[in-house]
Amino acid sequence: MPSEMDQFVAEVTTFLDAHATRRARAAEDVAWGEGEDRITYFSTDPPEVENAKVAAAKAWQRTRYDNGFGWLTGPTAFGGRGLTTLHDLVYDGLEAAYEVPETGVLSLIGLGMIGPTILAHGTDELRQRYLPRLYSGEIIACQLFSEPAAGSDLAGLETKAVREGDGWVLNGQKVWTSVAHHAAIGLALCRTDPDKPKHRGITAFIVDMTAPGVDIRPLRQMSGGSEFNEVFLTDVHVSDDHRLGPVDGGWGVALTTLMNERASVGGEGAGPVGRAVALPFLTELLRANGRLDDGAARRRLAELHADTLATEYLNHQMIRKFRAGEQPGPEASVSKLMYAQNLTRGAHFAAEIIGPRLIADTGAWGTYSWTELLLSTPALRILGGTEEIMKNILAERVLGLPKEPGIDTRSPFRELRRSVGSTGSGRSGE
Amino acid sequence: MSTEDTTSTELDELRSAVRDFMAAKADERAVRAAIDSERGYDDKVWAQMAEQLGLQSLALPTEHGGDGYGLVELTVVLEEMGRALLPSPFLSSVVLAGTALVAAGGDEAGRILPGIAAGTTTATLAPPSVDGGWSLGGRGAGDAIAVTASAGTDDVTLDGTAPLVLDGAGADVLLVVAGGPAGPGLYAVDAGAGAAGLTRTPLPVLDLTRRIAKVTFAATPARLVGAAGGAAAILDRVLDVATTALAAEQVGGARACLVASTTYAKDRVQFGRQIGSFQAVKHKAADMLTRVQVADAAAREAARAVDGVADAPDPGVAAAVAHAVCSEAFLAVATENIQVHGGIGFTWEHAAHLYYRRAKASQLLFGGPAVYYERLLAKAGV
Ligand SMILES: Cc1cc2nc3c(=O)[nH]c(=O)nc-3n(C[C@H](O)[C@H](O)[C@H](O)COP(=O)(O)OP(=O)(O)OC[C@H]3O[C@@H](n4cnc5c(N)ncnc54)[C@H](O)[C@@H]3O)c2cc1C
């Protein structure tokens, strides 16, 4: 009798065969010198191309969802399948053999971070209203956390939410908001009580991104494209049933999002970018440049490969633990740090092998195309909590080292110093 | 040998039993006493390891007096030994010699293995090349085979010098890869009673917790183990297993250094603050933790792979990854551990140098970075 997993594999294969084309070659095989040579992490597409890709992503997610593969691990009551992380992995492995649209614009933030947060903290009404729409690709969600004066020190945020009637009025500015320009909803953290210590006066809301008073302005990234934005909130009305978690209990909601963010960023091993800095592709790069016998190049290739595989092993072990019902632990931060480091090293290693043909587009296949990755990797050390903040977390929460002295978590928020010019009594900090 | 059935609870129990044993028998004082002793390890503790915990027999096959477990279980033991820096011939006798004999098979292996499993015989395996390396490749001058064997099976004699033999002065049985008429083969010398033409010279060592000797053979009687000319396949298996075992030891040692640094960073006060509140120290500790976590993942995965667990990666690749990553991690963490301790970390009395010595010697034991990175590329087909 076929096992439950065998049946699942058969079901997925039937679905994929019916709705997608199988790739000509295995995803990990290198087609050196052939086809697309762009190695894109952040998009540099013009708006019409970007919009078409977003539409394709939504359509593919819809197809997945309609066939029961949109949200494998979600509860059935909200449109999920009630299966395990292992099913997710098996599905991803099978889908990798087919040509399907990239769905990162939906999955990284909306499905990877906001969905789990709504599931954990939302009322049944909110879950019913948004989870099926998110996981069916109907809508995209963004994360309205960072502000100009509150990045690493997220709890120092100043966007205000004030009660009015049976709802709230929001005023303030968010920044670095990825995919806001495609999003229908955003998860916003707002200050609701400045007289409480900074972590205790924050409340989380689901904001309609099309509501009056929401102004989204694109920010251009160093990589050339505009995938993040400034979001200005001016007298934006949010009804109280769109509050997530208790009033002044928003920090706990935020922590759920941040935990999922670390796992979401660190876990992205595969994909075209991962393949570009993996051994088979880099070996072909050395071969094509006559460097396969160069001892120094081999050494760096091997060092990178050892660390990349070890990080992959760590991710697999983390997934096996999730499967056994354990919570994400410090591995998520470790794996995020390693991911950023490995990808950065890989990009710079390739650049060294390619040499001057990387600095101007000569038209040669697989040379100038690496600039996109080189111009993207700096962000990996910043987004989702900077490298320095990850290290503070590991040292303080895992190893139990003492906190930075002078960080004030007790005084009322309104008394804290929030910029060099201001006169609060404390200093900003964690 | 299937090890998929051992649950994580059982592994935790094994770990805590070994850890308790090490705490009782191999604290720092005991380690230092063993270092200063004639033999280099405490033979009473060695006997208790066999009698009370059955550690020597754990991962040897049942038909040779073992318990039939695999590397997944053995690496738990090795990690605890590495954490304690236990001086013992475990790596040489159980891991190197034990694996070589099991891989070789045959009557001679069957004669020696039960004693190893019982802890009553200690054996070791000499590195094959003249420079103390483990390659049979013949690429550099240093790859030439150190010892040659005369023709035959039972009445063979060995000639040559193996320059760096782990526990070579004390082992009862010396296994030697020697160039024979059919190519390199594995040979056994009964050294316990002092064989003819055998000279064993203990050498001064960087890692005080592991003894090394120069061993010279002059028409020394030996017996062939396994097939004539069969050393290449045996060595390949030995290196996968031994580097995986060493990786677990290295993770244990690295963890001990991380704990020592963290504890000290909480205790030591300068400028009116615990030094662990200075971000330079804090971030050093986070870097150490990151290295330990990744090394731990690599060592675990290699153990699963070498045991042939169903969804594990290729054993050659995983063992090579673990050897590289754990060697680098242990050395880095042991080095930073001295730095976090400041002046006291540079004293003879502090344990930091014992770990640093172990880390550096372990990194180079099977050839060092120049060898292990190439081994990884070779295993990955590059
Ligand atoms: C590509 C990209 C996408 C993003 N997408 C989103 C999004 O969708 N939604 C969202 O809310 N945010 C998003 N962000 C914002 C991101 O979370 C912040 O940039 C990040 O948390 C850092 O905050 P900051 O930029 O204000 O830098 P700062 O916090 O000002 O940090 C500046 C420097 O100071 C260091 N530093 C700060 N505090 C400490 C400390 N205590 N100890 C040691 N060093 C410290 C930092 O490590 C950094 O090196 C995105 C950022 C990027 C780059």
Whether residue A261 lies in the annotated active site: yes
- In residues, how long is chain B? 382
The class of domain B233-379 in CATH terms is mainly alpha
pLDDT of A429 reads: 34
Torsion of CA B319, B321, B327, B333, to 10 degrees: -130
Residue B342 has pLDDT above 80, yes or no: yes
Q: According to CATH, where is 2.40.110.10 located in chain A?
A: 141-248
Instruction: With cut-offs at 50, 70 and 90, classify the pLDDT of residue B187.
Output: very high
Q: For residues B306 and B318, is the Cβ–Cβ distance under 8 A? A: yes
Residues of A in contact with B262 (CB under 8 A): 399-401
For residues A66 and A138, what is the distance between their CA atoms, to the nearest angstrom? 12
Domain A9-26+36-135: assigned CATH number: 1.10.540
Q: How many CA atoms lie within 13 A of B32 on its CB side?
A: 9
Give residue for tokens 């697989």.
A366
Q: According to CATH, where is 1.20.140.10 located in chain A?
A: 267-398
Residue B331 has pLDDT above 70, yes or no: yes
Model pTM?
0.92
For residues A371 and A359, what is the distance between their CA atoms, to the nearest angstrom? 8
- B195-224 pLDDT, tens digit each: 999 999 999 999 999 999 999 999 999 999
- A248-273 pLDDT, tens digit each: 999 999 999 988 887 666 555 556 78
CA distances (Å), origin A412, targets A408, A416, B315: 9, 7, 57
Mean pLDDT of B298-302: 98
For residues B112 and B100, what is the distance between their CA atoms, to the nearest angstrom? 11
Q: Is A197 left (phi over 0), alpha (psi -120 to 50) or beta?
A: beta
In terms of Cβ atoms closer than 10 Å to its own Cβ (0-12, 13-18, 19+), residue A387 is middle
pLDDT of A320 reads: 76
What are the residues facing B149 on neighbouring strands? B158
The class of domain A267-398 in CATH terms is mainly alpha
Instruction: With cut-offs at 50, 70 and 90, classify the pLDDT of residue B228.
Output: very high
B326 to chain A, minimum CA–CA distance in Å?
Answer: 10
For residues B280 and B89, what is the distance between their CA atoms, to the nearest angstrom? 39
Q: Which residues line ligand 1 (CB under 6 A)?
A: A 109, 142-143, 145-146, 151-152, 176-178, 228, 379, 382-383, 385-386, 388-389, 392; B 279
Q: For residues A422 and A149, is the Cβ–Cβ distance under 8 A? A: no
ipTM at complex level: 0.92
- B244-268 pLDDT, tens digit each: 999 999 999 999 999 999 999 999 9
Give residue for tokens 């995919």.
A179
pLDDT of A231 reads: 98
Domain B3-118: assigned CATH number: 1.10.540.10
- A71-108 pLDDT, tens digit each: 998 999 999 999 987 788 889 889 988 999 999 999 98
**Higher pLDDT, residue A35 or B350:** B350
Q: According to CATH, where is 1.10.540 located in chain A?
A: 9-26+36-135
Mean pLDDT of B62-89: 97
pLDDT of A156 reads: 95
pLDDT of A421 reads: 63
- Domain boundaries of chain B, sorted by first residue: 3-118, 123-229, 233-379
Tally C-beta pairs within 8 A across A and B: 121
Ligand 1 atom with least separation from CA of A179: 8
Name residues whose C-beta falls within 8 Å of residue B63's C-beta, 6 or more positions apart in sequence: none
Residues of B in contact with A298 (CB under 8 A): 373-374, 377, 382
**pLDDT < 70 regions, chain A:** 1-2, 27-28, 263-271, 323-331, 421-430
Domain B3-118 and domain B123-229, same fold? Reply is no
pLDDT of A426 reads: 33
Residues of B in contact with A310 (CB under 8 A): 294-295, 297-298, 301, 321-322, 325
**Topology of domain A141-248, per CATH?**
Butyryl-CoA Dehydrogenase, subunit A; domain 2 (2.40.110)
Q: Is B9 helix (H, G, I), strand (E, B) or coil?
A: helix
pLDDT of A265 reads: 62
- B95-153 pLDDT, tens digit each: 999 999 999 999 999 999 999 999 999 999 999 999 999 986 555 545 689 999 998 77
- A200-222 pLDDT, tens digit each: 999 999 999 999 999 999 999 99
Domain B123-229 CATH assignment equals 2.40.110.10: yes
Residue type, A357: R
Residue B308 has pLDDT above 90, yes or no: yes
For residues A228 and A273, what is the distance between their CA atoms, to the nearest angstrom? 20
pLDDT of A428 reads: 32
